[in-house]
């Protein structure tokens, strides 16, 4: 029979189990003794300064004595752990103002494993080994850190920290796979990134990999879904998201240039006075967005306008015509 271990997951939600048994921290999701356990599980076995813990738990609360409140919370957590599925033992160790969770049983934490892998990634010098580490770390990252507690300042700060680590490692992994022309694994990694962190720009990598694999229909589907989500989030895009959006569209509309620098397809001629001039991919994106806005009753905010095209012959626009 395999030895049981304490397993704590905090990416994408919270779950703590000992073998097949669940550790339950009460009906209140934001209970202080539950949060204390979660703080300790971000680095099981490592020490935490009591003052920092008190600031994390009570920094925004009106309490007369945060140290006394923390001592009470420590007492409550100790009391719960004695009745939990964990074997008997003194799990909370307080030494000189430093609190730690003693790993009496084997303990694993997804966020601590993730952070350790991020450190290995920074120290590793071999490109392939760095990519392998990135793959392991990114598989651990299953979404935001404790999303049910994102109103807590310490959770917000931790969440942003883990997101930065994830973005850095995922981008390295995707760039490595692209340079190695491993488009199959690049597609899988990019698809996982989109599912984990939608609308963070990973869609562009997914489209890139699909075009490289010749899956233009799937690439178009990903592109359209990205466009719809962007429009549902307000109908207007930041300059950065516009650039990503147009780049993805250019990839699909010019598949023969997938191996080239697609930036040249996005370059619009200098804007002159009068009507706005843009390339066909940008025009198509803007027109699609406007149609969606008008369909939702947003047309009342716009003055009547007209569209004019030049540089095109026949019933359809060909080549590099300007619209």
Tell me what the pLDDT averaged over the chain comes to: 81
Enter the pTM of the model. 0.75
Q: Which residues touch 6 (CB under 8 Å, ≥6 apart)?
A: 16, 17, 18, 23, 86, 105, 106, 107, 108
Burial of 62 (0-12, 13-18, 19+ CB in 10 A): exposed
The architecture in CATH of the region 110-257+276-294 reads: Alpha Horseshoe (1.25)
> Is 6-106 a domain of CATH 1.10.10.10?
yes
Sheet hosting strand 107-109, strand order edge to edge: 21-22, 15-18, 6-9, 107-109
Q: What is the pLDDT of residue 168?
A: 97
How far, rounded to the nearest angstrom, does the alpha carbon of residue 206 sit from its chain's CA centroid?
15
- The average pLDDT across 222-243 equals 71
How far, rounded to the nearest angstrom, does the alpha carbon of residue 319 sit from its chain's CA centroid?
38
| Tens digit of each residue's pLDDT (9 = 90 or more) over 29-87 | 668 999 999 999 999 999 999 999 999 999 877 777 889 999 999 999 999 999 999 99
Q: What is the 3-state secondary structure (H, E, C) of 96-126?
A: CCEEEECCCCCEEEHHHHHHHHHHHHHHCCC
Sorting pLDDT into bands at 50, 70 and 90, what band is 285? low
| Tens digit of each residue's pLDDT (9 = 90 or more) over 297-320 | 544 444 444 455 444 444 444 444
Q: What is the 3-state secondary structure (H, E, C) of 64-83?
A: CCHHHHHHHHHHHHHHHHHH
Distance CA 150, CA 163 (A): 13
Q: Is the pLDDT of residue 233 over 70?
A: no
The proportion of the chain whose per-residue pLDDT surpasses 90, expressed as a percent, equals 56
SS3 label, residue 95: strand
Q: How is the chain split into domains, by residue range?
A: 6-106, 110-257+276-294
Distance CA 23, CA 87 (A): 12
The proportion of the chain whose per-residue pLDDT surpasses 70, expressed as a percent, equals 72
Q: What is the pLDDT of residue 254?
A: 63
Q: Is the pLDDT of residue 268 over 50?
A: no
Q: What is the pLDDT of residue 227?
A: 76
Angle at 226 between CA 222 and CA 229, to 5 degrees: 140
Q: Is the pLDDT of residue 259 over 50?
A: no
């Amino acid at each position: 029979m395999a030895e049981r271990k304490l397993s704590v997951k905090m990416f994408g939600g919270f779950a703590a189990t000992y073998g097949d048994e669940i550790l339950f921290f009460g009906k209140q999701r934001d209970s202080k003794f539950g949060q204390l356990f979660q703080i300790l599980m971000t680095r099981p076995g490592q020490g935490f300064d009591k003052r920092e813990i008190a600031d994390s738990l009570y920094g925004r609360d009106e309490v007369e004595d945060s140290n006394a409140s923390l001592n009470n919370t420590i007492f409550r957590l100790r009391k719960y752990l004695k009745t939990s599925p964990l074997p008997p033992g003194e799990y909370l160790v307080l030494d000189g103002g430093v609190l730690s969770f003693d790993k009496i049983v084997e303990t694993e934490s997804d966020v601590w494993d993730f952070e350790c892998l991020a450190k290995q990634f920074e120290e590793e010098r071999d490109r392939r080994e760095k990519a392998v580490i990135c793959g392991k770390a990114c598989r651990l990252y299953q979404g935001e850190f404790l999303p049910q507690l994102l109103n807590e300042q310490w959770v917000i700060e931790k969440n942003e920290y883990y997101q930065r680590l994830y973005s850095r490692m995922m981008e390295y992994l995707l760039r490595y796979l692209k340079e190695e022309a491993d488009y199959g694994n690049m597609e899988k990694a990019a698809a996982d990134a989109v599912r984990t962190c939608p609308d963070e720009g990973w869609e562009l990598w997914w489209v890139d990999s699909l075009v490289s694999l010749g899956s233009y229909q799937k690439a178009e589907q990903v592109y359209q879904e990205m466009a719809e989500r962007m429009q549902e989030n307000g109908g207007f895009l930041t300059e950065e998201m516009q650039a990503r959006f147009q780049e993805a569209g250019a990839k699909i509309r010019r598949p023969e240039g997938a191996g080239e620098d697609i930036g040249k397809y996005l370059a619009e001629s200098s804007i002159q006075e009068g009507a706005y001039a843009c390339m066909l991919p940008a025009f198509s994106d803007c027109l699609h967005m406007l149609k969606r806005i008008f369909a939702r009753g947003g047309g009342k905010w716009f003055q009547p306008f007209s569209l004019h095209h030049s540089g095109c012959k026949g019933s359809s626009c060909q080549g590099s015509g300007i619209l």
